[in-house]
Amino acid sequence: MKVCALYRHPIKSHGREAIERVHLSQGQSMPWDRVWAITHEVSKFSTEKPAWASCYNFMIGARTPGLAGIWAKLDEETRVITLTHQDLEPLSFEPDNPKDSDRFLAWVAPLCPPNRAQPRGIVSVDGRSMTDTTYPSVSIMNIASHVAVADALGSPITKERWRGNIWLDDLAEWVELGWIGREISIGSAVLRVREPIERCQVTNTNPVTGQRDTATLDVLNSQFGHQNFGVYAEVITTGDIALGDTAKVI
Q: What residue ranges do the domains of the chain occupy?
A: 2-9+18-27+133-249, 36-124
**What is the predicted pLDDT for the residue at 116?**
87
Q: Which residues of the chain have pLDDT under 50?
A: none
Q: For 22, phi and psi rounded to 5 degrees?
A: -155, 150
**What is the predicted pLDDT for the residue at 67?**
96
Contact 166, 139 (CB under 8 A): yes
Buried b (16+ CB within 10 A) or exposed e, 114-124: eeebebbbbbb
**What is the predicted pLDDT for the residue at 159?**
96
Contact 157, 216 (CB under 8 A): yes
Dihedral through CA 104, CA 108, CA 112, CA 116, nearest 10?
-10
pTM of the model: 0.96
d(CA 250, CA 240): 17
**What is the predicted pLDDT for the residue at 129?**
96
d(CA 167, CA 241): 11
Question: Of all helices (H) and strands (E), which one includes residue 146?
Answer: helix 143-153
CATH class of the domain comprising 2-9+18-27+133-249: mainly beta
